[in-house]
Structures are given as C-alpha cells and as structure tokens.
C-alpha cells in the first residue's frame, strides 16, 4: 500500500519541479466576494520580478473585477476629461450680459464685433475699432481723432490650429467717463440683428415706435438713470456711515418729479480736513460737459503738502445765490466752521457767492483767486511784460508802482479789483497758506 502511494506522488513530481526553486510566500490575501467591495491586501515580494508585477494589488484587483465594474470605471474616466482652458463665447446669452474677456474664442469676426457692441451699449463706453481686417481686430476706448487717455484695449486674432477668433490681449481698465454716445460701433446692422424677430412679426412697425423701444430696451434715455438717483443716495449712506447726502427734486403740476440738487460730503473727507488740512477752503464752480448740462460746485482745502484736498461737492442747475447759500449752509454744518472765524476762503468772487458768504460766513477772510483775475486781465492786456508785473504784484505790492508808470489804464483796472483781496502783502498772517 505504501508503495502504491509513492508511485502516485511520483506521477506529480515532474509538475512540481519547475516551482520548487521559487522561494516565495503569499499571505494576507483576502478576497471578498461582493463584486462592489472586492479588494486585495498588500503582498510580500518574492524573488521573481515577473510574479511581483503580476501579483501586485492593482493587477489582482483588475483581474477580479467584473465587466460591469470595468465599464463603470471607464465611464468615470470619460467624465473627468480636461475642460478647455479658455471660454467659448455663447451667442445665446442676454445682450447686456455679454462681456469680452481675455482668451474668449469666437466663431467669426462678426460674432466678436456683435459682442463688443453689446458691451458698449450696456456699459455706456465709447469704443471704436482701430483695426479690423482679415488678420486682426483691435478695439480702443475714446474717439479715433483724439489722443485717448483711457487704457482699455482689445486685440483679437485667428487661432493657429482652428479657424476661430480669439482675444489674445486685453486691458479691461477704464479711466474715462461714460458719454453715452456710441459712435459708429452701433450700426443699422446691429439694430437689425436685435429687431429681426420683431420686424418679421410686424412688418409695418413705425419708426417712432422702434426709436421709443430702442431707448427703453437699451437704456439710452437718461430719465431712467435719474429715476435711480434715490438708489444711489441710499447706497452712499449705507456704504459711508456718517456721511451727508442731500437730494432735492422739483414736483411739477403734471405729477412728475424732476432732479434739482444733489449734495455729497463723505465722513472720511470732512474728518481729514479737520485733522490735517490748513485753515483755508476754496470755492469754485464749473460746467458739466457730458449729457447732463448742469453745474458742479465744489469745496476744496490744502493739506500739509500744499496739495488739493476735496471736501464736498454739489450738482446744481445754475450757479446763483440760492444754490451757493444752500451749499454753504450744508458745508458749514458738516465742517463746523463757526461762522468763518479763523478761516480763509479763496474764490472767483462770483456775485452770488459773495452774497452767500456774507450771510453764512460773516467772520471769514475772503480772498480772490489771482488766476481768475488774470484770465480776465489777459483778454484786454496781452503784453508779456504786463503778465510778469501782474504775478509779481500778486506777491508784493511794490510792483504796483511799476505798472502805474508803464500803463495808467492797467493800474486803474487792477485797483478796481481790490488788491487787498489778491495781493499777498495784505494777507493776514497765521493761516499757513500763501496761495494767491
């Protein structure tokens, strides 16, 4: 019986001989037969490199995975595809949401120009195409016949590997005002693309109806902007606690309210003037040259470096005594000027301003701005010698005699302007301000 067993083992001895030299041991192999939770633990390495690779964790796990699990893994890999680096323009978004950005890809030059035109109308900038040919498109902000200071610039060119237009460089910063005049970038073709459906539905659409709808849809009418002035008013007060903002409107018999005055004085500016500026303020007015033909009245100061420091400003319909009085009353309360005691005012001696200062700031020292006097002076007297003597007289009264010898008519003119208000020799000391 023993001999028969030895014969039986000898039959399989040849099968075991190829593996007898392999000194390896596999342990800690655990297989869970649930298909979604299969895993293989780490293996001890053996001396055969081929078996080490074949029997590593990843290969054993892949070998034990079902076809369903492999399909699920491949679908997961497909979902993790790399997204394109730059944005492809979507022509179906709303017109006022279109905004060109660096790297944007467009199907054609017409699509890019349509996007830029929508951006212009939505934001109110005056952008024009400096270059527009088969190679590139360059857009700048401002007027083509002027030296523009706005840094906005867009440069687009064709891509190398595909027939698409891409924005290669772009400076999005704007340092210009919003004139709301769009120039040639808003063309009849641009209007036609927006009104293609309306014209198809209503072929007999009247021109007046279209103009009215364009102004309403694309916010070309400034009445809508004036209607939101109260939103601007409350936002200023919310974001600048302690500031003073005043809005005045006129209620007409037709039931409509019309803009009249808007006053702004930020808390930070008024506090800075009290703590770090000289004992002087300047008052002046200028015309607004945009779509709104009102006037801007301002109050400024001089800081420790003798630089201009803005304090308050107001938009009014005209420069007159009532508006100056209203403005000075608010400024007096915000800056606590105490009737003008220990204060110097420099202005252009506007009649309405003079009367308002006498009423609101009776104790102030009121000086004239020498530059305003000279602007009127040079219209009648253009000699360079008179210009030199005028500015010398604003610093010292001894040059007045030279002017009298040179031209008695000039002397009488300057005497009528009250030299005590614009000649430094007559200024009261102690204000640390020598500006004339």
CA distances to 12, 128, 241, 314 from 232, in Å: 96, 30, 14, 14
State the alpha helices, DSSP H only, in 84-164: 109-123
One domain for residues 177 and 137: yes
Q: 252-265: per-residue pLDDT in tens?
A: 887 777 888 899 99
CB 314 within 8 A of CB 283: no
One domain for residues 239 and 296: yes
C-alpha span between 302 and 381 (Å, rounded): 31
One domain for residues 353 and 409: no
- The pLDDT of residue 28 is above 50: no
Q: 384-429: per-residue pLDDT in tens?
A: 888 888 888 888 777 777 888 888 888 888 888 888 888 887 777 7
| Mean local confidence (pLDDT), 68-83 | 53
- Order across the sheet with 295-303: list the strands: 244-251, 257-265, 308-316, 295-303, 277-287, 344-347, 365-368
Question: How large is the greatest C-alpha to C-alpha distance in the chain, in angstroms?
Answer: 155
One domain for residues 33 and 101: no
pLDDT at res. 325: 92
| Mean local confidence (pLDDT), 185-212 | 82
One domain for residues 391 and 268: no
Residue 277's CB: how many other CB atoms inside 10 A?
19
* Domain end (from 320, 350, 368): 368
DSSP state of 218: T
Higher local confidence (pLDDT), 32 or 266: 266
Lowest mean pLDDT segment, chosen from 39-53, 112-126, 257-271 = 39-53
213: in domain? no
Q: How many residues does the chain have?
A: 436
Average pLDDT for the chain: 78
- The pLDDT of residue 12 is above 90: no
156: in domain? yes
For the residues of 70-95, what is the DSSP string, one character each? HHHHHHHHHHTPPPPSSPBP-TTS-G
17-21, 71-75, 178-182, 342-346: which has the highest mean pLDDT?
A: 342-346
337: in domain? yes
210: in domain? no
| Mean local confidence (pLDDT), 81-88 | 67
Half-sphere exposure of 94 (CA within 13 A, CB side): 5
C-alpha span between 343 and 283 (Å, rounded): 13
Q: Return the SS3 of 230.
A: helix
Domain residue limits at 413: 371-426
211: in domain? no
| Mean local confidence (pLDDT), 311-315 | 93
431: in domain? no
* Domain end (from 320, 338, 368): 368
One domain for residues 151 and 249: no
Place of tokens 């323009």: 89
pLDDT at res. 267: 93
Kind and range of the H or E run holding 88: none
CA distances to 112, 154, 156 from 132, in Å: 11, 12, 10
C-alpha span between 313 and 345 (Å, rounded): 16
Residue 83's CB: how many other CB atoms inside 10 A?
5
C-alpha span between 25 and 41 (Å, rounded): 14
183-197, 308-322, 363-377: which has the highest mean pLDDT?
A: 308-322
One domain for residues 336 and 250: yes
221: in domain? no
One domain for residues 364 and 379: no
| Mean local confidence (pLDDT), 140-148 | 72
- The pLDDT of residue 436 is above 80: no
| Count of structural domains, the chain | 4
One domain for residues 158 and 29: no
pLDDT at res. 327: 93
DSSP state of 164: -
Place of tokens 């270059």: 131
One domain for residues 360 and 422: no
φ and ψ at residue 29, rounded to 5 degrees = -100, 115
Q: 221-231: per-residue pLDDT in tens?
A: 666 677 788 88
CB 109 within 8 A of CB 132: yes
Token couple for 92: 């179906």
Lowest mean pLDDT segment, chosen from 18-27, 55-64, 193-202, 342-351 = 18-27
34: in domain? yes
Angle formed at CA 246 by CA 364 and CA 295, multiple of 5 degrees: 70
pLDDT at res. 16: 47
| Mean local confidence (pLDDT), 25-41 | 43
State the alpha helices, DSSP H only, in 242-312: 267-276
One domain for residues 397 and 324: no
- The pLDDT of residue 60 is above 60: no
C-alpha span between 132 and 114 (Å, rounded): 13
pLDDT at res. 85: 78
- The pLDDT of residue 363 is above 80: yes
Band (33; pLDDT cuts 50, 70, 90):
very low
pTM value?
A: 0.59
| Mean local confidence (pLDDT), 104-125 | 88
One domain for residues 265 and 355: yes
C-alpha span between 403 and 394 (Å, rounded): 12
Mention every residue, 6+ apart, whose C-beta is less than 8 A from residue 331: 265, 299, 311, 312, 337
């Amino acid at each position: 019986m023993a001999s028969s067993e030895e014969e039986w083992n000898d039959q399989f001895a040849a099968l075991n001989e190829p593996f007898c030299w392999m000194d390896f041991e596999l342990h800690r192999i655990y297989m869970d037969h649930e298909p979604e939770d299969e895993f293989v633990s780490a293996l001890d390495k053996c001396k055969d490199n081929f078996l080490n690779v074949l029997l590593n964790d990843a290969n054993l796990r892949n070998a034990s995975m079902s076809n369903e699990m492999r399909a699920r893994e491949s679908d997961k890999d497909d979902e993790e595809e790399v997204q394109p680096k730059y944005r492809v323009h979507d022509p179906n978004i709303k017109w006022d949401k279109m905004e060109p950005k660096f790297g944007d890809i467009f199907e054609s030059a017409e699509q890019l120009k349509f996007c830029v035109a929508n951006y212009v109308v939505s934001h109110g900038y005056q952008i024009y195409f400096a270059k527009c040919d088969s190679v590139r498109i360059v857009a700048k902000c401002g007027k083509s016949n002027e030296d523009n200071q706005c840094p906005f610039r867009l440069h687009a060119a064709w891509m190398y590997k595909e027939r698409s237009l891409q924005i290669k460089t772009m400076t999005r910063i704007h340092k210009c005002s919003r004139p709301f005049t769009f120039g040639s970038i808003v063309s009849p073709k641009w209007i036609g693309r927006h009104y293609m459906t309306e014209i198809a539905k209503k072929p007999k659409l009247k021109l007046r109806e279209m103009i009215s709808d364009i102004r309403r849809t694309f916010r070309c009418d400034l009445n809508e902007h004036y209607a939101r002035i109260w939103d601007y008013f409350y936002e200023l007060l919310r974001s600048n606690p302690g500031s003073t903002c005043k809005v005045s409107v006129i209620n007409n018999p037709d039931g409509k309210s019309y803009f009249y005055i808007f006053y702004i004085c930020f808390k930070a500016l008024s506090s800075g003037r009290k703590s770090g500026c000289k004992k002087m303020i300047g008052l002046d007015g200028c015309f607004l040259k945009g779509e709104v033909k009102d006037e801007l009245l301002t109050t400024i100061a001089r800081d420790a470096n003798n630089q201009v420091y803005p304090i308050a400003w107001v938009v009014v319909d005209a420069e007159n005594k009532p508006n100056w009085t209203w403005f000075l009353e608010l400024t007096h309360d915000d800056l606590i000027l105490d009737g003008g005691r220990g204060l110097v005012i420099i202005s252009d001696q506007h009649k309405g301003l003079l009367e308002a200062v006498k009423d609101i700031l009776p104790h102030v020292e009121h000086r004239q701005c020498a530059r305003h006097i000279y602007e009127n002076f040079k219209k009648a007297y253009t000699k360079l010698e008179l210009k030199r003597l005028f500015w010398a007289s604003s610093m010292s009264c001894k040059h007045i005699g030279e002017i009298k010898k040179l031209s008695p008519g000039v002397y009488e003119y300057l005497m009528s302007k009250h030299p005590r208000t614009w000649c430094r020799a007559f200024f009261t000391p102690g204000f640390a301000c020598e500006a004339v």
